[in-house]
Amino acid sequence: MIDIKFLRENPDVVKENIRKKFQDKKLPLVDEVIRLDEASRANKSEADNLRAMRNKVSKNIGYFMAQGKKEEAEAEKSKVSEYSQRLAECEKLEGEYAAKIKEIMMVIPNIIDPSVPIGEDDSKNVEVEKFGEPVVPDFEIPYHTDIMKSFNGIDLDAAGSVAGNGFYYLMGDIARLHSAILSYARDFMIDRGFTYCVPPYMIRRSVVEGVMSFEEMDAMMYKIEGEDLYLIGTSEHSMIGKFIGTFTPEDQLPKCLTSYSPCFRKEKGAHGIEERGVYRIHQFEKQEMIVVCKPEESPKYFDVLWKNTVDFFRTLDIPVRTLECCSGDLADLKVKSLDVEAWSPRQKKYFEVGSCSNLGDAQARRLNIKVLGADGKKYFAHTLNNTVVAPPRMLIAFLENNLQADGTVSIPEKLRMYMGGKEKLVPVQ
C-alpha cells in the first residue's frame, strides 16, 4: 500500500505505474481516492472547528451560570447540542471515508523499482545469470515420480484416497532425503547469520491482508471454517506478521530470520503433465528467509537473499539461473522480484524453485511495522523475503541432476551427514 500523501502529490506517477503493470482498469481508482481524500480532509477540518467552537461555548455556559444569566446559558447549551450533533455526523463520515480510502488503496499496486523490465506476463521475464553448467546425460531420465517409485519412495494413490489430488506420501529414502534437505537448509542459513524460527502455521485475516493482495489471498489461502484463521501459504506470512505494530530501534536492524514451516495452497487451475506428481501440490514444506531493514538497505539485502538460494543449490550440484520478473508478473505489493530456477535435465529447461522479493514499505505500512530512528522519529521499515528451498518440488531437480545411468542417485557431500553417511541411494530390486 503506497503512501496516500505520495499519491496525492504524484497522481500521474501512480497512474503510469498502473499502466506499466497492465492494470488499466484501476486507473479511475486514483482520481476516486483523491476525491475521497479531499472530502475526508474537508470533513476533518469541519470536525476540528466544531470541537473548538463547542469547547469555547461550553466555557461560556459556566461563565453565564456564574453570573446568574440562565437564559444566556441555555442558549449556549443549545449551541453545544447543535455542534455535538453535527460533530457526531462528521465523526461517522470520518470513519466511512477512512474505510473507503483504505479499501481502494489496498488494490492500487505498489510503485515498482525503475530497474524492473516492462512486460505483460511471465513470458517477458528476463534471464539475468546462469550458475553451473546444465547437463543432459546420454541416458533417459524418467519422470520424477517414476524415479521416486524406484526407491519405493512415493505413494500418490493412497494419498489421493486419503486427501485427494495434490497430496502425497513420501517414504523410505525419499522421505529421509526430503527431511535431510530441509535440515541442511536450516543449518546453511544459520551459518549465514540468520536466526532460526518455527512460526505459527495459521494467521488471522488482518495479517493475511497485511502481507498479500486480495487476488493472491483468494487464489492461495485455505480458510479455517468458523475461525478467524487461515493456513499459511508460506512462512513469510507469519514471519512478517511477527513484527506487526512494532517500533524497532535502528541499531537493532536488520532482522534476518530463517523459518521452517509446512505450507498450504489451493493451487487453482489445471496444469500440464510436467506440473503433476509433486510439482504443484496443496501441501509442502519450506525453508524461508525474511529481512526487516531500513529503507536504504533493502536493495543490498535483496541481493543477499537471492544469492543465498543460488549458493544453496550449487552446493547440491544443481545448476540454476536467475530471472528478473517483469512488471506484469509482479504481485501488487512487490517493488522488485527475482526468480531462481533449477535445471531439469529431463525437460531440458529450467523451472522455478524460489522467488526473492523486495516489498518496500508496503507490508510495513499495512501492518504498522516501524523503525525508531536515533533522533526519535519513526518511519516504516522495508521487508524482503526469499525461498531457501521448498521440497518436495526441489526433489525433482535434485533427483534428475544426481541420477546415474544405473538408477542410483548420488548424495552430495553436504547432505551425507543428514543421510546417515550415505553416498548414494540404491533402487529397490
| Kind and range of the H or E run holding 344 | strand 336-344
Where is pLDDT greater, at 172 or 53? 172
Does position 66 have pLDDT exceeding 80, yes or no? no
The pLDDT tens digits of the residues spanning 222-252 come to 999 999 999 999 999 999 999 999 999 999 9
Give mean pLDDT, residues 331-358: 96
Give mean pLDDT, residues 8-32: 97
Does position 268 have pLDDT exceeding 70, yes or no? no
Percent of the residues in the chain that have a pLDDT greater than 70, as a whole number: 96
Give mean pLDDT, residues 117-127: 96
Does position 277 have pLDDT exceeding 90, yes or no? no
Give mean pLDDT, residues 377-404: 96
pLDDT band at residue 270 under the 50/70/90 scheme: very low
Give mean pLDDT, residues 190-194: 98
pTM of the model: 0.89
Can you give the pLDDT at residue 82?
Answer: 83
**Contact between residue 100 and residue 298 where contact means Cβ atoms under 8 Å apart:** no
Query: C-alpha distances in angstroms, 387 versus 54, 192, 349, 381?
Result: 57, 15, 20, 21
Query: Under 8 Å CB-to-CB from 376, ≥6 apart: which residues?
Result: none
- Long-range pairs of 93-98 with CB within 8 A, sequence gap ≥ 24: 93/43, 94/40, 94/43, 94/44, 94/47, 97/36, 97/39, 97/40, 97/43, 98/40
Does position 194 have pLDDT exceeding 60, yes or no? yes
pLDDT band at residue 61 under the 50/70/90 scheme: low
Q: What is the CATH number of domain 122-425?
A: 3.30.930.10
pLDDT band at residue 275 under the 50/70/90 scheme: low
Can you give the pLDDT at residue 213?
Answer: 80
CATH C-level class of 4-105:
mainly alpha
Q: Are strands 247-249 and 370-372 parallel, antiparallel or unpaired?
A: parallel
Residue type, 170: L
- Cis omega (within 30 of 0) on the bond before 137? no
The pLDDT tens digits of the residues spanning 153-170 come to 999 999 999 998 889 999
**Contact between residue 262 and residue 201 where contact means Cβ atoms under 8 Å apart:** yes
Average pLDDT taken over every residue of the chain: 92
CA 265 to chain centre: 13
Give mean pLDDT, residues 177-206: 97
Q: Which of 124, 147, 151 is CA-nearest to residue 345?
A: 147
Give mean pLDDT, residues 404-426: 96
Q: How far apart are CA 43 and CA 93, in angstroms?
A: 8
Where is pLDDT greater, at 15 or 393? 15
pLDDT band at residue 219 under the 50/70/90 scheme: confident
Does position 271 have pLDDT exceeding 70, yes or no? no
Q: How far apart are CA 142 and CA 140, in angstroms?
A: 6
Which three cell numbers, joined as nine digits, stand for 344? Answer: 531439469
Which residue stretches of 192-323 are H helix?
205-211, 214-220, 235-241, 298-314
Give mean pLDDT, residues 368-378: 95
pLDDT band at residue 371 under the 50/70/90 scheme: very high
| Kind and range of the H or E run holding 399 | helix 393-402
Domain ranges of the chain: 4-105, 122-425
